[in-house]
Amino acid sequence: MANFLKSSYLLAKNIKTTGAFTETSTFVANEITKYVSSDQPQVIIEVGAGNGNVTKVILKKMHVNSKLFSFELNTFFCENMREQIKDERLVIINDNAENFDKELVQEKVDIIISTLPFTIFPIKSSHIILDKFKLRLDKNGRFSQVYYSLFFLKEIKKFFSKNKIKLRLNIPLAFVIHSSN
């Protein structure tokens, strides 16, 4: 319980980087991980991992030979994930999402799952990250992102031609957009 309270406090305190004041709901976590497959190995990037509630769903769904690279800027959240989640398929990286491409050896990735608060980022930063996502995704890759409004959809469409929108229960209600080219 103390960990949950500290987590909620840190989410709210750092709203400009977390974009949230509660953890992602199970409904959103299940939707955003829709394209994670247990049938074949995948390289998966997660940005904005927080305390790892979406990370745990990804790990549960993914193939035994898949690899998950989870990026989180907040040191407390990274340390908490390292203590709570023991899985050799997971690499936790305490760094800014803009640097994700510098940390990876793989040329292409199959899935990028993001809870980054793009709507409160400077537009230039958002475009840099989205451009890197697009360049790193495999030709059949998917980019799945959670939003609390559809305000940023026009920006997503500048980078990804196919976008499916799903509304899921969360506090507040959340949209999950699955994008590809």
- Residue 33 Cα to chain centre, angstroms: 9
Q: What single-letter DSSP state applies at residue 144? A: E
Give the model's confidence band at 178: pLDDT under 50 very low, under 70 low, under 90 confident, else very high.
very high
Q: What is the CA radius of gyration of the chain?
A: 15
Q: Edge to edge, what strands does the sheet with 162-168 contain?
A: 90-93, 67-71, 43-47, 109-114, 137-147, 174-180, 162-168
- Residue 172 pLDDT greater than 90, yes or no: no
Question: Which residue segments constitute the domains of the chain, with CATH numbers given?
Answer: 2-180 (3.40.50.150)
Give CA–CA dist 165/150, Å, rounded. Answer: 9
- Residue 27 pLDDT greater than 50, yes or no: yes
Over the stretch 63-97, which tens digit does the pLDDT of each residue have?
999 999 999 999 999 999 999 999 999 999 999 98
- Residue 18 pLDDT greater than 50, yes or no: no
